[in-house]
Structure 1
Amino acid sequence: MTSINWIVLVYKIPSEPTKYRATVWREIKRLGGIYLQNSVCIFPDIDDVALNVSSLANQIRNMGGTEYLFFTTSPTQAQATELVSQFQSSRTEEYQALLLEIDELEQQSEEGAQLANISGLNDEFRRLKKQVALVKARDYFAAPLGTAIATRLQKIGTQILRMSKGT
């Protein structure tokens, strides 16, 4: 594994209103960061992550909080490997949360649906595809389950398309 650049966000926000904490937590999750400890998050310094984390830092200041951004590299290969593993594990948890819904949709598409229900299957397929795309956008280190889910969704989409054409 080559050297990886990281962005570390350390922040403190007022305890009230509590919506500030929830907003920051949701944004960190959306950006794919992981918590090293309370109020200390790490992100890989790739693509436009730095821009997005800087925007989050501005939001924290606007909430009356304080923040510090540090740009660094892992001091050892073992630390880099451990961090990548944590990122992959976090994304795998998100993919697993979608698996039950994907399993259900796959079962419905394999059983064949009435013509009236194909539209509903297609809507659910598009919703799940969008959810998977959101996770994939923050899957910076390609968690293995992401590829498997993408393959399954493609298969399901093909099956729904065949059903809609009556073949």
Structure 2
Amino acid sequence: MKWVLLVYKLPKAKTTAKKVAIWRKLKKLAVYPLQDSVCILPYSERTLENFEWLAEEIKEMGGDATLWETIALDYSQEDQVKEYFLTQVNKQYKEIMDKVENAINIKQLQKLWTLFHQIKSQDYLRSPLWIEVKGLLEKKASELSGKDE
């Protein structure tokens, strides 16, 4: 499998707010942290572009950032990284599944759809749970729209 790595160093003298902003962006991308200041995502044009933007932002802050494309992970490490990505999204998908049952109106369901799309954007390895969650959301939408009539 192909991967993209971001190796970065934030400047020491810059404000904490900028560093927190970078950390939040990494968290939003749901990266796998290989070690301090080194993170990885499965390769795609989208993940490469996201890392390119982030690397540029780090450089504009006065830091350093380098991107690497690789297939050089050993199989056990690659399995561990894949498991990490799947575990992260599956946990979030299961939380949505639990909340769908308790949704009592369309507004609550719309929030769950929004959350679903956010999680799906981090589902780099296409967890099979996404189809199940989508089906539950669609079924609940059908039930709730029947109540409104």
Q: Same fold (TM over 0.5)?
A: yes
Q: Are 1:147 and 2:131 matched, yes or no? A: yes
Identity %: 26
- 1:158, 1:145 → 2: CA distance? 20
- Matched residues, number: 148
- 1:13, 1:102 → 2: CA distance? 41
Aligned to 2:148: 164
The offset of 1:5, in angstroms, is 0.8
The offset of 1:84, in angstroms, is 1.1
2:10–2:63 contact (8 Å) kept in structure 1: yes
Structure-2-length-normalised TM-score: 0.86
The offset of 1:148, in angstroms, is 2.5
Written as runs of structure 1 = structure 2, the 5 A alignment for 1:78-117 is 78-105=76-103, 108=104
Question: How much is the aligned-residue C-alpha RMSD, in angstroms?
Answer: 1.9
- 2:7, 2:128 → 1: CA distance? 30
Aligned to 2:3: 6
Q: Are 1:41 and 2:39 matched, yes or no? A: yes
Measured at CA, do residues 39 and 98 of structure 1 come closer, stay the same or move farther in structure 2, by a change above 3 Å? farther
Aligned to 2:69: 71
CA deviations on 1:2-54 (whole Å, 9 max, x unpaired) are xx111111112135412222211221232232212222110111132111110
What residue ranges of structure 2 are gaps of 5+ in the alignment?
none
Question: Rg larger in 1 or in 2?
Answer: 1
- Which one-letter code corresponds to 1:25 in the other structure? W
Deviates more, 1:64-73 or 1:92-101: 92-101
CA deviations on 1:42-77 (whole Å, 9 max, x unpaired) are 011113211111011001111221112111113433
What residue ranges of structure 1 are gaps of 5+ in the alignment?
109-120
